[in-house]
Structure 1
Amino acid sequence: MSSWFNYGASHDSEVTLVFRGFTVLKGTTVTLHTVIRSFTSLLLETRCKGFKTCMSHLRYLCSSIHVCCISGPIPSADAHTKAKFSLSRFICRSSWSATAETSDSIVSLTVCLQSNAHIGVDKLILDQGEGVSLAEFVLLFNPWCKKDSVYLAGEAEREEYVISQDGLVYRGIPKRITVLPWIFGQFEPGILDICLQILDESPNYMSDAALDCSERRNPVYVTRVLSAMVSNSDKGVLAGNWSGDYEDGVKPTVWKDSCSNLHFSGIMFTLCLSRALGIPCRVGTNFGSARDSNGDLIMERFYNEFDENIADDSIWNFHVWVENRMTRPDLTLGYEGWQASDPTPQHRSDGVFCCGPAPVRAIKEGELTFKYDIPFVYAKVNADVVEYIKLRDGRVFKMGGSTTEVGKSISTKAVGRDEREDITHNCKYPESREAFWSVSHLPQDLLPFALHLSTCLHIKVRVTPDMQIGSDFDVYAELKNNTMVTKSWRVMFYAQAVSYNGTLGETCGLGEFTEMNLASSEGEPGSLHFEFTVYFVYAYVYKVLCKSLRPLILGVPKVGQNLVADLVLQNPLPEPLELRIQRVKAWRWTLRHVWLPRGRRISTVGPKEFATAKVEFTPKLPGQRKILIDFASNKLHNIETFENLVIYE
């Protein structure tokens, strides 16, 4: 479905619909900017906005005529699911109102929708002694209206956070941040129907449909329901699978758009759902994201004598959440704006698996009592890390920790350009103990280990900056004695493969230093050499940095005209690679052909050799568009590229 907001035009403008005998004529069109796009059978409206209906064969018109707008199974004025109002001389933009004009046998009825009306399917009824149904329409939030609780100032921001159907998601680690292009597709056919169905199948609706429909006027409530319904509990969309076995489904890293996920009931972001309903939304990635299992704001790592982690707390390489823009009348003034929600919640909130919306400012200020789930989100970005070793006899010793490991390089896509914007400053103050205590609002004796994390032996590990997947590399450890006396040490140095959520795999490198004596403040270097043939066997997923993998577009980018994308990809490994194109995605483009050399979909590429591929497609709509191309192989994953194109009429 095309965008159902008046793109590029005034959002107080009127939309004209023609009625004959109180029935909507089929094929109704709406002009959006300079492009006329046909809607489906759903009539779409936004809050604060007026629309006009034209009726014939009306018997009479008088001031006693009332207009009703109803929603839900049990419409009620007390529940705000039924609005009844009389005809007036003028339209009032702040409340339900209607005016009427007559010309010959045609009556034009103009209706204005209240700025805090509930969203969802509504019916418009003309009451002239007996109720006559005029129309059924879907009411959405309106980020163009200043009176709406989701109002967003700035046309560029509305274009990025409401209208744009594609974007970028960041992942990796702070020193090696990579980008994943994503198509949200919130205006694609059937997506709005799915959004409404998700709301109607929520436990809230099932337990009290009238109350649920009434609460839908509040974007805070709607966002919270969406967070719960995307998770795998309570009839949600997403099905969790942490086993690594995806034989009966689709591997999560294969998905590159939200539409396929919704249609296929797989993984997606609540961003698609939020934007489809008119709520401004963006994706945020938190690197070094903590999962605090007991709510004490400390990530406690307990190891046994074999260095196996025996604690429930974990730190993910990165974690993705969404931020919705809205007011918060339930909180103190100043906590409106961006609200963080987690589409994959790891804990229960009020008995339900959901997370948020949590005001971003409340996260930064450490307002742990504010709604919703501030302590959990605060720990994601600002928890301290303390490490312990537990001996076989039960004794526990603190080994060390960090005050800076959690919450780094929090990232989102910049407005209007394909660049990373660092929004860490929105969520936390610069790292310091004074800042931590000033915002935590907790007695200091609750966190006895957070202030002084110095240890007897300081170890700093670093990797060569030019390390590349497919080559051998070295890791260096620098040891320093922080005590006032000479100490004898025996250090074991090894490495394990790790997934993005912190799950450890097999040991892929082992080195043991001989016993050494270090005087006070004395240091000692050490190194561990990694061979590709060893570490690659245990690797989970690697992101290949293919800077040369950019499509070369051949042809004139015009609507209806075929284009060809030439791609060249180098095998970075010292061994052969089976390569194929996994998926090609583009919004409102028609894919024609995909082929590799000699007409084969799968090609064997020798060590350090180049593979070529072509993709032919046809743009269907003008404007800026992205094409996403995803490669797959028998040994490497997450090889993707994208290109922006401006398509002309």
Structure 2
Amino acid sequence: MSLHSGSILVAPCHKMEPIEVVRTEFYIKDNAKDHHTEDYDLVKADPPTAIFRRGAAFYMAIMFNREYDAEADVVRVRFGFVKKKKKKILKKKKKKRENFERGGGGRGVFKKGGPNPNVIRGTRAVLTLSPKLKHKLSSFPEDPYQWGIVLTRTDGNSIVVQIRIPANAQVGIWNASIQTNVYQHRDKRHDFKIPDDVYVIFNPWSPDDGVYMENEEERQEYILNETGKIWCGTFKEPKGKHWIFGQFDDIALPAAVFLLEKSGLQPSDRGSPVLIARAISAVINAMDDGGLLEGRWDGNYADGTSPFAWTGTAAILDEYLRSEGTPVKYGQCWVYSAATVTICRALGIPCRSTTNYVSAHDTNRTLTVDKYFDLSGNKIENGPEGDCNDSCWNFHVWNDVWMARPDLPPGYGGWQIIDATPQEQSERVMRCGPASVAAVKKGEVGYLYDTPFVFSEVNADVVHFKEDEESDWGFSRMNVNKYHVGRQILTKKLGPTDDIGDSDMLDVTLVYKNRENTEEERLAVYNAVRGVPRAQALYELPREENEDVFLDLIDIESVPFGESFNVVVKIHNKAQEERTINAILSASSVYYTGKAATDIKKSKGRFKINPGQKDTLQLVVDPEDYLDKLVDHGLIKIYAIATVGETKQTWSEEDDFTLKKPELTLSAPEECKVGEPCEVTFGFNNPLDIPLVDCVYTVQGPGLHKAKSIKFRDVEPKEQVSLSQTFIAKRIGERRIVVSFTSKQIQDLNASTRIKIL
């Protein structure tokens, strides 16, 4: 029997055939504008890949084989988080990188693996259009952490729905399918698998997301800026290294998801920015999990790429994926940090690179850096027992990520420190953080994660011990320097990058620690000491106060490559009697990690100084003393040690500086056109009387030029070098190009400029 409605004949529901899905449309490029993902190369590709931010809604069209009947048809849109394994990521053709198959998230790139998606674990969602739920389809659920679907339009055989992704959804790749049946009759149904996967990433624009960042200028810098600077050098002469993060490169987001798989982080935990940031800090280094970068600090890079030769992250990710996950050689702290910026920003986590000058590496949880010297003034590496590997890195680069900390008391959210450089294990894995910057500043070392280690990096005291035959344990304390560590902490300022100078430097020292020599700073130290039992004994050590001879090591700001320098100690005998001084001055080359490399020159002597007299000790170091003994960065450490015979007063100081590099000049046209050749020229003057060998230069620019490292001939002594490189731009807009030159003798000359592409 038939039912009539006007002149339209309608079949009973139980006799209708289920509606069938013919195809779907994600409106990828239109939705990308609302989701702030339109800059991703995968979105711009043909065909495009969907990249959506959680906590936001997107439109989707569904076309059926007949007209949609809202009174009879049931449509279930299902999303499942897919734990995937790498199958084949990258292809090479005619020496040019091809796009990922279906943009890196589509068919053929990955194969399914791991546990099945589950609603309880948050890795599966079923969104239903049904006559029974018709009254609920006009708005999303009030809870922002629930999936939602709204039917926005019907048009014959097609419908348009709007789907909201929960603000705490798992970050990664999701697949989708549609199941249809007739209302109250599921004996017949049709299933349609949407062929293209969807990337879901964090959303700093959503107040409900844990990475929400309120300030738009900060979002532009810490999420959307593809280029920037990483600060190297010394606290006396910081130097910004230009870097192309390239988080929108077609390789970046697939690589980020692959690295999360490598980390072993469970799918159910991939909605937490805290746990994802911690996983990233582990998998950027290759110590435990076959991660992205293998580190090396001894200057031997012949079987890989020198850390100084990298100018951007895309080339590192490219090599990693082409080798099917073999760690890339080589990285040091600034390379680890730069790669972390790329991965975090690609996933939607606000991230910046931060440099701590004179960064303590406390290996035994004492909150101090302990250095031991023998009777001759020689530093005892690894301490008298061979188990003290404390050091001070001339600079160390980590990352700050912005997020809420629901696992900590209120007030400890915001910037969190993570560190991908492998220094110490945390829970048996080489990783560090996220440690709350607010907790570090207050000395609250009991809060997760790795806060004691980070506190030491910025606020440890440096303790010098000298061999002492009269001491019960063979050593006595010479000096405690409360203000040597954490001399300056820098990051890039919001806004444009300074191509010529370093006016884009932002000093954030007071964000991490109280001002030195203040009561607040000492209270933070003592607060930390209370939480670390091993530190308490060192802070209670007795100190000889009989000091009537004033000694002062004069700081050396910087010395140009190829010039002499003097180690100078000023002495003033304030006593009423003559004093006998035993003094040792030394200079050595060191790695930027603080590890000793080679002794350069040393002088020691014994002399008397009259009451009230002032005197000067001096050690002259010429170029021929140091040029063949330098290591990476051209860093030199000087020590001065003295004892007063009559009073047993002991004194020691240390200083370090870097040899100043020649300037790399770079020139390029202000404008060029897409598809047309454009030439840049660059050069420098070799300041040395010896040739530069093992020379390599690199040129890179997003939308301009893939990273390209080129071996160059030896540079003659005092030679003026001039080079050029031609590229063809592929994208319009203002683009940045970065050039780097490195050799065995002088590393990391770099320069940057902007070009307008028409």
The TM-score with structure 1 as length reference comes to 0.87
Alpha-carbon distance in structure 1 between the residues aligned to 2:208 and 2:26: 32
Q: What is the SS of the residue equivalent to 1:380?
A: helix
> Which whole-Å deviations, capped at 9, do the CAs of 1:10-67 have from their partners, x for residues lacking one?
xxxxxxxxx9713559997877599893366632111122112212225544475443
Q: Which amino acid aligns with 2:78?
A: C
- Does the 8 A contact of 1:400 with 1:454 survive in 2? no
Is 1:117 the counterpart of 2:169 in the alignment? yes
Alpha-carbon distance in structure 2 between the residues aligned to 1:588 and 1:132: 38
- For residues 593 and 234 of structure 1, the distance between their equivalents in structure 2, rounded to whole angstroms, comes to 28
Closer, same or farther: CA 513–579 of 1 in aligned 2, 3 Å: same
1:340 aligns with 2:425: no
Tell me if 1:168 matches 2:229.
yes
Determine the C-alpha separation between the residues in 2 that align with 1:115 and 1:304: 59
138, 142, 159: which one aligns with 1:89? 138
Q: Is the aligned partner of 1:250 residue 2:329?
A: no
Aligned counterpart, 2:368: 298
Map Cα deviations across residues 203-261 of structure 1 (whole Å, 9 max, x no partner): 34xxxxxxx11111110010011111122213322223344322322222222221222
> 2:683, 2:717 → 1: CA distance?
14
More deviation, 340-349/379-388: 340-349
Q: Deviations over 1:540-592 (max 9, x none)?
A: 13377467533122363443343322324122123444585521111121379
Q: Deviations over 1:77-108 (max 9, x none)?
A: 22111223434112357231112231111111
**Structure 2: how far apart are the matches of 1:626 and 1:518?**
62
For residues 425 and 574 of structure 2, the distance between their equivalents in structure 1, rounded to whole angstroms, comes to 43
Aligned to 1:225: 279
The one-letter code matched in structure 2 to 1:462 is: I
Which amino acid is 2:729 matched to? P
When structure 1 is superposed on structure 2, of 253-262 and 354-363 the one drifting more is 253-262
Q: Separation in 1 of the partners of 2:255 and 2:574?
A: 60
CA distance in 2, matches of 1:195, 1:467: 41
Contact 1:143 1:280 in 2 (8 A): yes
Change (3 A) 1:480 1:313: farther
SS at 1:626 equivalent: strand
Task: Write the mapping of 1:191-210 to structure 2, written as runs, cut at 5 A.
Answer: 191-204=252-265
Q: Secondary structure at the match of 2:539?
A: coil
State the AA in 2 paired with 1:525.
T
Structure 2 counterpart of 1:237, one-letter code: L
In the TM superposition, 1:539-554 aligns within 5 A as: 539-541=630-632, 542=634, 545=660, 548-554=663-669
Q: Deviations over 1:280-324 (max 9, x none)?
A: 100000000001111121111122224222232111101110111
User: Are 1:401 and 2:493 an aligned pair?
Assistant: no
Q: Which residue of 2 aligns with 1:559?
A: 674
Residue pairs, 1:173-184, within 5 angstroms: 173-184=234-245
**More deviation in 33-42 or 99-108?**
33-42
State the distance in 1 between where 2:148 and 2:365 align.
Answer: 49
Task: Answer yes or no: is the 8 Å Cα contact 1:592–1:616 preserved in 2.
Answer: no
Q: Residue 460 of structure 1 aligns to a residue in which SS?
A: strand
Q: What does 1:511-550 correspond to in 2, within 5 Å? A: 511-517=603-609, 519=611, 522-541=613-632, 542=634, 545=660, 548-550=663-665
Aligned ranges for residues 557-596 of structure 1 at < 5 Å? Answer: 557-577=672-692, 580-590=695-705
Q: 145-154 vs 232-241, which deviates more? A: 232-241
AA paired with 2:308? T
Q: For 1:499, which of 580, 587, 591 is the aligned residue?
A: 591
Q: Quick one: structure 1 residues 308 and 425, their matched pair in 2 at CA, closer, same or farther if it must change by over 3 Å?
A: same
The yes-or-no answer on 1:357 pairing with 2:408 is no
C-alpha deviation, 1:121, in angstroms: 1.2
What letter corresponds to residue 124 of structure 1 in structure 2? A
Structure 2 vs 1, CA of residues 430 and 455 (structure 1 numbering), >3 Å: closer, same or farther? farther
Which letter maps to 1:622? I
Structure number with bigger Rg = 2
Letter in structure 2 aligned against 1:508: I
Counterpart in 2 of 1:142? 203
Instruction: Please give the alpha-carbon distance, in whole angstroms, between the structure 1 residues aligned to 2:31 and 2:513.
Output: 45
Q: CA deviation at 1:614?
A: 2.0
Alpha-carbon distance in structure 2 between the residues aligned to 1:523 and 1:428: 37
- Residue in 2 aligned with 1:390? 467
Q: Which amino acid aligns with 1:602?
A: R
Question: Any idea what the Cα deviations from partners look like across 1:357-413, whole Å, max 9, x if unmatched?
Answer: 011111111111111111000000001111101346852111112011101110101
Equivalent-residue separation in structure 2 for 1:280 and 1:83 (angstroms)? 27
* Counterpart residue type for residue 285 of structure 1: T
Match of 1:614 among 681, 700, 724: 724
Whole-Å separation in 2 of the counterparts to 1:40 and 1:455: 78
More divergent stretch after superposition (445-454 vs 432-441):
445-454
**Residue 67 of structure 1 pairs with residue 77 of structure 2:** yes
Partner Cα distance (2:23, 2:541) in 1: 70
2:122 to 80, 103, 110: 80
Change (3 A) 1:547 1:302: closer
C-alpha distance in 2 between matches for 1:458 and 1:622: 63
Contact 1:58/1:107 (8 A) holds in 2: no
Query: Is the 1:403–1:450 Cα contact (8 Å) retained in structure 2?
Result: no
Amino acid at match of 1:491: A
* Two-structure CA RMSD over aligned residues (Å): 3.1
SS at match of 1:118: coil
TM score, norm. by length of structure 2: 0.75
**Identity percentage over the alignment?**
26
Query: Do the aligned partners of residues 553 and 316 (structure 1) sit closer, same or farther apart at CA in structure 2, a change above 3 Å counting?
Result: same
CA contact (8 A) 2:26 2:61 kept: no
**Residue of structure 2 equivalent to 1:281:** 351
Are the structure 2 counterparts of residues 538 and 482 from structure 1 closer, same or farther at C-alpha, using a change threshold of 3 Å?
farther
The residue aligned with 1:368 is 445
SS in 2 for 1:272: helix
2:51 counterpart residue number: 44
Residue 570 of structure 2 aligns to a residue in which SS? strand
- The amino acid of 2:478's aligned partner reads M
Question: Please, which of 131, 154, 166 is the counterpart of residue 102 of structure 1?
Answer: 154
Separation in structure 1 between the aligned mates of residue 63 and residue 464 of structure 2, nearest angstrom: 77
Which among 394, 402, 423 is matched to residue 317 of structure 1? 394
Return the offset for 1:183. 1.3
Q: Retained in 2: the 8 A contact 1:301–1:387?
A: yes
Number of aligned positions between the proteins:
617
| AA aligned opposite 2:563 | S
The one-letter code sitting in structure 2 at the alignment partner of 1:641 is A
* Whole-angstrom distance in 2 between the partners of 1:430 and 1:450: 24
Given that residues 461 and 476 in structure 1 are in contact (C-alpha distance below 8 angstroms), is that contact kept between their aligned partners in structure 2? Answer: yes
Q: Could you say if the C-alpha distance between residues 26 and 368 of structure 1 is closer, same or farther in structure 2, counting changes exceeding 3 Å? A: closer
- Give the CA deviation at 1:141: 0.4
Please report how far the alpha carbon of residue 485 of structure 1 lies from its aligned counterpart in structure 2 after TM superposition.
5.5
* Distance change in 2, residues 1:44/1:486 (3 Å): same
When residues 453 and 114 of structure 1 are mapped into structure 2, their CA distance, relative to the original with a 3 A threshold, is: farther
The 8 Å contact of residues 693 and 744 in structure 2, kept in 1 or not, is answered as yes
- Greater mean deviation of Cα atoms: 633-642 or 415-424: 633-642
- Give 1:500 shift: 0.2
How far apart, CA to CA, are the structure 2 residues paired with 1:25 and 1:111? 11
